[in-house]
Structure 1
Amino acid sequence: MKARAVARVLGKHVVMIVLMMFWLSVLVFCLSRMAPGDPLQSFYGDAVQSMSTGELEAARHRLGLDAPLWVQYEKWLSGVAQGDFGMSLKYKRPALEVAGPLIGNTLILGGAAYALVFALAIGMALICVRYEDSWIDRTLCAAGTVAFYTPAFWLGTMLVLVFSVNLHWLPGSGAYRPGMAGDVADRMRHLVLPLVVMVASHVWYYACMIRNRLLDEVRRDYVLLARSKGLGRRRVLMRHCLRNVLPGIVSLMAISVPHVLSGTYVAETVFNYPGIGLLSVSSAKYHDYNMLMLMVMLAGFLVIVSSILAQAVNEIIDSRMKGAERGGV
């Protein structure tokens, strides 16, 4: 019975993902075709300006751009079902072939930023609660607020100007030097500035929420009872309060994936970091329809899966909490 229930839940989530991805693809496909601009400019470049009307019509026919919208979508969808996302108009190569090597770069940057953001957020929240209303707490709150409201584009530009242009300490663009893709040290040097921007833009947002949850927890009756028995504030905070708010932190981490993903896209644009974020911007700019669809579907899949995961985590947490309450009664 348990295996059957798990299979039913998994099947429900798979169907939900498929339906949401389908409607996302329909929406983006229609909107991209309705946007102003000519995709032939992406494929032929400046040669489009010298083409006659007949040549333009022939070019649109060769690329399938003169067919009705529903016919274009049907052709695209049938190709996707076979693992073919079409040819990139800008790069004149299969879209998946162009995007494949860049997905790893984005996962490295996004994964490192995600881990750093929450590690520092939890650490900052614990320090603020441990030294509540002290100069340490006030300084962290002020610095975190300033960093959160500082525009990422401006901060990134300033970091490049100081550490790359003037001091020559760190590279200001790219994911690695030419031919050094396998050099871990070189990759880490290229990650420093983008990670600083991403962490600065996100860490206090989550640290503040975790801090508020911990402050609510340290004011509960069991904490006052533990303190009256002689337990230190630090011990109670680490062994009891943090453990009790940990399920909420896990849920927060699950729903934060779209937020961190958007920050990755911004960092890739600022630092010219070769990833799917930078590729998404260029595909939208040059009306590279097939590449844009691939980028949106990848991002949409990550967001939808993370949202479903967050819902599942919340359901597990709620069921355990209800079970604990019934057991206590």
Structure 2
Amino acid sequence: MTTQIRSDAERLAAIPRPGSESPVGTGKHAHRPGRSRIAIQLLGRRFLVMIPTVLLVSLGVFAVAAASPFDPLTAHLGDRYQSATQAQRDAVTQAYGLDDHWFTAWWKWWVAVFRGDPGWSSTMRQPVADVIGQRLPFTVGMSLAALLSAAVIAIVLGAVVGMRRGGLLDRACTSLAAMLAATPPFVVSLLLVSVFAVGLGWFPTSGARRPGDDYSLDGLLTHAVLPYLALTISMIPWLLLTMRSAVVDAAVSDAVLGARARGVGGWPLLRGHIVPVSVLPTLALLGTRLPELIAGAAIVETVFGWPGLAEALVDSAVALDFSLLAPLAVGSAVLVLIGSALSDATAVWIDPRIGLRA
């Protein structure tokens, strides 16, 4: 009996653990790469896929622009459109290549981008590079802060309510999350403005600084509170519900039941056995919800007058400013692809057994 127990223990010890590398020359697991190498390989494959995807997205932007019934000359001339002579209209058309075929315009745009000249924005009345350089920090700072806050709140709160399934806190959080998930971001934004800006007067209603003032850290933080809250609140519900559902499923899994039988409970059980498994669906959802983050940022920035790229994206689409619309659309696509790749790579690093290949 002692010999049999020792033999079983040796066989169990020889089984490689997930994420660990087996010694060289120990069978089919001898050359199994580590978790970091698997994640890097996944990122490399996603980068290769990103190149044709970005080209197709940019191609689609120019194709849709060509099919638009609106005249882009109106955006370039603005208030001067009605009073402009035919010679002036022809000159603007020739200068900006508005009569080019959409494929020719797409090709010229990429050539100009590689030369470092993305073009001129007719809506902002300045070079596209200056528009992006001035507005990018506002959008990146706001979106990144909201995304990180929403992820942390959703993961922590989802784990807590998932471990207390059916309790008062669980019912309250799930009901509130379901209600917020059905509420558009602009409604959340208007409610925040009505309560905290108009009603209580605690925060400004719009902008990133007071009229006539220069940008300052204190002014930025004060004006950013409400749009930050609106964007964070719009991101929490689906992440929270996903995390809560994953924790509920993990809590009744064989691995967790076995850990409970061995006397593991409380925080060690949650941290070591439940969260590492439950966080994977949340990370996957985080990558796929980036388009919602971009759309929500566009709505929130428009409502609050936040001087970011999302607001410029809306303005360029309305005014048919395709010199600005094209790089913003391509940049949004790149952001979504990068976010999806990073979320999947993180999931692979946490648990290499999921074996993502594309």
Instruction: Tell me which interval the TM-score lies in, with the shorter structure as reference length.
Output: 0.7 to 0.9
- Percent of aligned pairs with the same amino acid: 28
Shift of 1:295: 1.0
Q: Measured at CA, do residues 113 and 130 of structure 1 come closer, stay the same or move farther in structure 2, by a change above 3 Å? A: same
- Aligned counterpart, 2:325: 292
| Residue number among 190, 205, 219 corresponding to 1:172 in the alignment | 205
Q: Which amino acid aligns with 1:254?
A: G
The more displaced of 106-115 and 165-174 is: 165-174
Shift of 1:41: 2.2
Structure 2: how far apart are the matches of 1:6 and 1:150? 36
Structure 2: how far apart are the matches of 1:7 and 1:14? 11
| Residue number among 200, 204, 228 corresponding to 2:233 in the alignment | 200
Q: Measured at CA, do residues 9 and 149 of structure 1 come closer, stay the same or move farther in structure 2, by a change above 3 Å? A: closer
- Aligned counterpart, 2:133: 100
In the superposition, the TM-score normalised over structure 1's length comes to 0.87
CA contact (8 A) 1:43 1:92 kept: no
- Aligned counterpart, 2:316: 283
Structure with greater Cα Rg: 2
Structure 1: how far apart are the matches of 2:216 and 2:47? 36
Q: Which amino acid aligns with 2:121?
A: S
- Aligned counterpart, 2:152: 119
Q: Which amino acid aligns with 1:181?
A: Y
SS at match of 1:49: coil
- What are the ranges of 5 or more consecutive residues in structure 1 without an aligned counterpart? 323-329
Shift of 1:16: 2.3
- Aligned counterpart, 1:133: 166
Shift of 1:287: 1.1
CA contact (8 A) 1:39 1:89 kept: no
| Residue number among 201, 218, 232 corresponding to 2:251 in the alignment | 218
Q: How does 1:29-44 map to 2 (within 5 A)?
A: 29-44=62-77
Shift of 1:127: 2.2
- Aligned counterpart, 1:181: 215
CA contact (8 A) 2:283 2:344 kept: no
Q: Does 2:182 match 1:159? A: no
Structure 1: how far apart are the matches of 2:164 and 2:39? 45
CA contact (8 A) 1:227 1:233 kept: no
Q: Measured at CA, do residues 9 and 167 of structure 1 come closer, stay the same or move farther in structure 2, by a change above 3 Å? A: closer
Shift of 1:160: 1.1
Q: Measured at CA, do residues 6 and 282 of structure 1 come closer, stay the same or move farther in structure 2, by a change above 3 Å? A: closer
In the superposition, the TM-score normalised over structure 2's length comes to 0.80
Q: Which amino acid aligns with 2:174?
A: C
Structure 2: how far apart are the matches of 1:222 and 1:86? 58
Q: Higher helix fraction: Structure 1 or Structure 2? A: 1
SS at match of 1:50: coil
> In the TM superposition, what whole-angstrom CA distance separates every residue of 1:10-50 from its partner, at most 9, and x where no partner exists?
66544322211111111101211321222222222222112
Structure 2: how far apart are the matches of 1:8 and 1:260? 27
The more displaced of 310-319 and 20-29 is: 310-319
Structure 1: how far apart are the matches of 2:351 and 2:260? 28
Structure 1: how far apart are the matches of 2:263 and 2:68? 67
Q: Measured at CA, do residues 135 and 230 of structure 1 come closer, stay the same or move farther in structure 2, by a change above 3 Å? A: same
Structure 2: how far apart are the matches of 1:234 and 1:280? 45
- Aligned counterpart, 1:69: 102
- What are the ranges of 5 or more consecutive residues in structure 2 without an aligned counterpart? 1-30
Shift of 1:242: 1.3
Q: Which amino acid aligns with 1:60?
A: T
- RMSD of Structure 2 on Structure 1 (CA): 2.7
Structure 2: how far apart are the matches of 1:82 and 1:275? 25
Structure 2: how far apart are the matches of 1:10 and 1:230? 39
